[in-house]
Amino acid sequence: MADPVRAGLPFLPYGRQSVEEDDIAAVAAVLRGDWLTQGPAVAAFERALAKWVGAGRVGAVEAVACANGTAALRLAYAALGIGPGDAVVVPSNTFLATASAARHAGAEVAFADVDPDSGLMGVAEAEAAIARAAKAGWRVRALAPVHYAGQTAPMAGLVALAQAEGLALVEDACHAIGTVDLSGGDRADGQEAPVGAGHAEVEAGSLTVFSFHPVKTIAAGEGGAVTGTDPALMARVRRLCNHGMMRDPGEGEAFADPDAALDAGGKPNPWYYEMAEPGFNHRLSDIHAALVLSQLGRLDRFIGRRAALMALYAERLAPLAPLVRPPALVPWCRPAWHLCAARIDFEAAGRTRSAVMTALRALGVGTQVHYIPVHRQPYWRRRYGDLALPGAMSHYAHTLSLPLFPAMADGDVDRVAAALERVLS
- x-or-dash string of contact with ligand PLP, 218-247, rule CB under 6 A: ------x-----------------------
Decide: 290 and 26 in contact? Cβ < 8 Å: yes
SS (H, E, C) 56-113: CCCCCCEEEEECCHHHHHHHHHHHCCCCCCEEEEEECCCCHHHHHHHHHCCCEEEEEC
207 binds ligand PLP (CB under 6 A): no
Stretch that binds ligand PLP, among 2-10, 64-72, 190-198, 373-381 (CB under 6 A): 64-72
Q: Is 187 in the site for ligand PLP (CB under 6 A)?
A: no
Q: Tell me which of 26, 42, 66, 69 binds ligand PLP, using CB under 6 A.
A: 69
Task: For 11-34, give one letter per residue: b (16+ CB within 10 A) or e.
Answer: ebebbbbbbeeebeebbeebeeee
Q: Does the protein bind ligand PLP through residue 288 (CB under 6 A)?
A: no
Residue from 175, 236, 306, 375 binding ligand PLP (CB under 6 A): 175
- Do the beta carbons of residue 185 and residue 147 sit within 8 Å? no
Number of residues interacting with ligand PLP: please give it, by CB under 6 A: 14
Closest separation in Å from C-beta 155 to ligand PLP:
16
Q: Give yes or no for residue 94 binding ligand PLP (CB under 6 A).
A: yes
Segment interacting with ligand PLP, rule: CB under 6 A, options 66-74, 104-112, 159-167, 396-404:
66-74
27, 121, 146, 225: residue in contact with ligand PLP (rule CB under 6 A): 146
User: Least distance in Å: CB of 193 to ligand PLP?
Assistant: 20
Q: How many CA atoms lie within 13 A of 294 on its CB side?
A: 23
Contact mark string toward ligand PLP, 109..138, x via CB under 6 A: ------------------------------
Instruction: Determine the angle formed by the axes of helices 299-317 and 286-296, rounding to 10 degrees.
Output: 60
**Residue 74 touches ligand PLP, criterion: CB under 6 A:** no
**Closest to 407 (Cα-Cα) out of 324, 298, 316, 332:** 298
For residue 260, give the H/E element and its range: helix 258-261
Does 95 contact ligand PLP by CB under 6 A? yes
**Which residue, 178 or 364, is less far from ligand PLP as judged by CB?**
178
**Gap between the terminal Cα atoms of the chain:** 22
Contact residue for ligand PLP among 74, 132, 141, 213 (CB under 6 A)? 213
Q: Are 93 and 112 in contact (CB under 8 A)?
A: no
Q: Does 70 bind ligand PLP (CB under 6 A)?
A: yes
At closest approach, how far in Å is the CB of 209 from ligand PLP? 7
Could you tell me which residues are beta bridge partners of residue 111?
90
- Cα gap 179→258, rounded to integer Å: 47
What is the smallest separation between the CB atom of 15 and ligand PLP, expressed in angstroms? 11
> How is 294-325 classified by DSSP, letter by letter?
HHHTTHHHHHHHHHHHHHHHHHHHGGGTTTEE
What Rg value do the Cα atoms of the chain yield, rounded? 23
Q: For binding to ligand PLP (CB under 6 A), which residues are involved?
A: 68-70, 94-95, 97-98, 146, 172, 174-175, 211, 213, 224
